[in-house]
Amino acid sequence: MGISEDYDEILHCSRCGFCQTACPIFRSTGHESGVARGRLALLRALIEGRLEWTKEIEEPLFDCLLCGACTSNCFTAIPTSNLIVNARAEYLEKVGRKPIHRLLFDQLLPYPRRLHLTARAVALGKNTKISDVARALGLLKIFGRDFPRADEIVERLPARAFRDETKPGSRRGEGNSLRIGFFIGCGMDIIQQNAANATLGLLQKIGKTVTVLDNCCCGLPAFTYGDLNVAQKLADKNMRILGDGKFDVIVTDCSSCASFLKKYPDLFPENDSRHKKAKAISAGVKDLLELVELVSVKTPPAVPKAGLSATYHDPCHAVRGQGLSKEPREILKNIPGLEYRELPEADWCCGGAGSYALSHYDLSRQVLDRKMENVKKTGADLLVTSCPACIIHLSYGVRKHGLKTRVCHISEVIAGRTANYCSSFSGACASGAGPFTAT
Ligand code: SF4
Ligand code: SF4
């Protein structure tokens, strides 16, 4: 399948330009090539043969955040990010895949154990400053054009993954009947272990059993890169675990994973038997944000410090990917003693967009700086969200802007564990007493 099948959809663009106000890339650069209208014109030119599939089109195809904000601002709701992904897929076919992506998508993401070992090796290099030597030698560029600069986004890497400590398998919970499968996203597994632990504790309060799944990557990174075959293979592999009938619900605390697990049916043609299976599985997937039970869950004996305030950043895959925006706010507003403050432009992408900064550091920083200016306006103590990529990027922004705000996963806040469980990648989080005090 090539993008010529998207031609009619592309022709729906009336070139009105309404998408300009919503596009973080256009608002940063002012370049028409960065906004949906310009991107659609590019795709049209490719289909009509007025433009060749060459390396020159890599930049406009790959500098889109795939945040989906343009679609929300477009009267005909043109799904530009989906069309861009299809174009990336055709680009890979016609121009080729990069070796680093072959290694990542074919050899690492399908195998959690290999990923853990690699993460451990990277952590060792980073925490012992070997990566500084590699940077000086120019070796880091193999991971992405801007990797040498983007390397500082993650301040420190944990040596052990969540599933190194918490082995996959079933655990008893305090609930009456619900059998929960806990899907572990790569980011939560290898970087946000403390938040994953908080989530596990919360799920055990709700479920009769909670099973930490031995799943592999959900496939979203491969999909956004345009490697649809790999995304399909990863989905196929996960579906063998998710679809064995042992669970009433599959929950994940990564909004990006949740959004993509719900899209599994789209990866298989309707005449493929896996399409039906994917449909049944995706119907049982829930983002942690959707568990209304969390609003009333009995948290540990901890209360927020007097005057503690929180604001919330909407991950693109929660707000536009799944339509979840009221839910996290309701959860936060229901935490006694916690003052909720709305973040201006809360649903704007933070610039994290997976590994976007590795190849587009400057653009990603511009988008992040805008987010940080808005965070400053709230003056909130906690900046809460539900996607590990956002947590990493927002924590970087907080460090760069010298803010005292702590960046937290929502499960850490619900569990009242921000003192110990706040992202260890924010300088603000790593030091000092926690905002919650035990009573
Ligand atoms: S808002 Fe939609 S129709 Fe208007 S220019 Fe943008 S993509 Fe085209
Ligand atoms: S998906 Fe986001 S970055 Fe890409 S064109 Fe649309 S608004 Fe701009």
In a domain, 173, yes or no: no
Q: Is residue 358 part of a domain?
A: yes
pTM metric for this prediction: 0.86
Domain boundary among 95, 122, 156: 95
Q: Is residue 66 part of a domain?
A: yes
Q: Quick check: is 243 in a domain?
A: no
**What pLDDT tens digit does each residue of the chain (439 aa) get?**
689 999 999 999 999 999 999 999 998 888 888 899 999 999 999 999 999 999 999 988 988 999 999 999 999 999 999 999 999 999 999 988 777 777 777 777 777 777 777 777 776 666 666 556 555 555 455 455 655 666 677 777 788 889 999 999 999 999 888 999 999 999 999 888 889 999 999 999 999 999 999 999 999 999 999 999 899 999 999 999 998 778 999 999 999 999 999 999 999 999 998 999 999 999 999 999 998 777 666 555 455 666 789 999 999 999 999 999 999 999 999 888 889 999 999 999 998 876 777 778 888 888 999 999 999 999 999 999 999 999 999 999 999 999 999 999 999 998 876 543 343 333 333 223 344 433 3
Residue owning the nearest CA to atom 3 of ligand 1: 13
For ligand 2, atom 4, the nearest C-alpha belongs to 64
* Ligand 2 atom closest to Cα of residue 22: 7
Ligand whose nearest atom lies closest to the CA of 23 = 2
User: Are the C-beta atoms of residues 226 and 92 closer than 8 Å to each other?
Assistant: yes
For residue 387, give the CATH number of its domain.
3.40.50
In a domain, 143, yes or no: no
Residue 360: φ, ψ to 5°: -140, 60
pLDDT at 42: 94
Q: Which atom of ligand 2 is nearest to the CA of 36?
A: 5
Instruction: State the closest ligand 1 atom to the C-alpha of 77, by its place in the atom list counted from 1.
Output: 2
Q: Is residue 164 part of a domain?
A: no
Q: Which atom of ligand 1 is closest in space to residue 18's alpha carbon?
A: 1
Q: What domain count does the chain have?
A: 2
The identity of residue 379, as a single letter, is G
**What pLDDT score does 246 carry?**
86
pLDDT at 156 (0 to 100): 73
348 C-alpha to ligand 1 centroid (Å): 18
Helix (H, G, I), strand (E, B) or coil at 152: helix
- Cβ of 178 closer than 6 Å to ligand 2, yes or no, is no
Residues 6+ apart with CB under 8 A from 27: 20, 21, 370
Q: How far is CA 46 from CA 31, 87, 116, 126, 428, in A?
A: 19, 9, 40, 42, 47
Kindly list the protein residues whose Cβ atom lies closer than 6 A to any atom of ligand 1.
13-19, 36-37, 40, 70, 73-74, 76, 78
Contact (CB, 8 A) for 361 and 150: yes
DSSP state string for 368-433 = HHHHHHHHHHHT-SEEEES-HHHHHHHHHHHHHTT--PEEEEHHHHHTT-HHHHS-TTSHHHHSS-
Measured between alpha carbons, how far apart are the two ends of the chain, in Å? 60
93 Cα: distance to centroid of ligand 1 (angstroms): 28
Pocket test for ligand 2, best of 23, 316, 317, 319 (most atoms within 8 A of CB): 23
Q: Which domain holds residue 55?
A: 3-95
Round to whole Å and give the CA distance between 210 and 226. Answer: 34
From the CA of 19, the nearest ligand is: 1
Looking up residue 55, the CATH number of its domain turns out to be 1.10.1060.10
Select from 73, 95, 117 the last residue of a domain: 95
Tell me, what's the pLDDT at 371? Answer: 95
CA of 79 to the centre of ligand 1 (A): 10
User: Which residue's C-alpha comes closest to atom 2 of ligand 2?
Assistant: 67
Domain stop point among 51, 78, 95: 95
Q: Which of 11, 15, 72 to mutate to test the pocket of ligand 1 (most atoms within 8 A of CB)?
A: 15
Q: How far is the CA of 20 from the centre of ligand 1 (A)?
A: 8
- How far apart are the C-alpha atoms of 411 and 417, rounded to whole Å? 9
Q: Which protein residue has the closest C-alpha to ligand 2 atom 6? A: 70
From the CA of 65, give the closest atom in ligand 2: 3
Is 27 part of a structural domain of the chain? yes
Instruction: Answer whether residue 22 is part of any domain.
Output: yes
Smallest CA separation from ligand 1 atom 2, residue: 74
Report which ligand 2 atom has the smallest distance to the Cα of 349.
Answer: 2
Query: How would DSSP label each residue in 169-232?
Result: EEEE-SSSS-EEEEE--HHHHHT-HHHHHHHHHHHHHH-SEEEE------SHHHHHHT-HHHHH
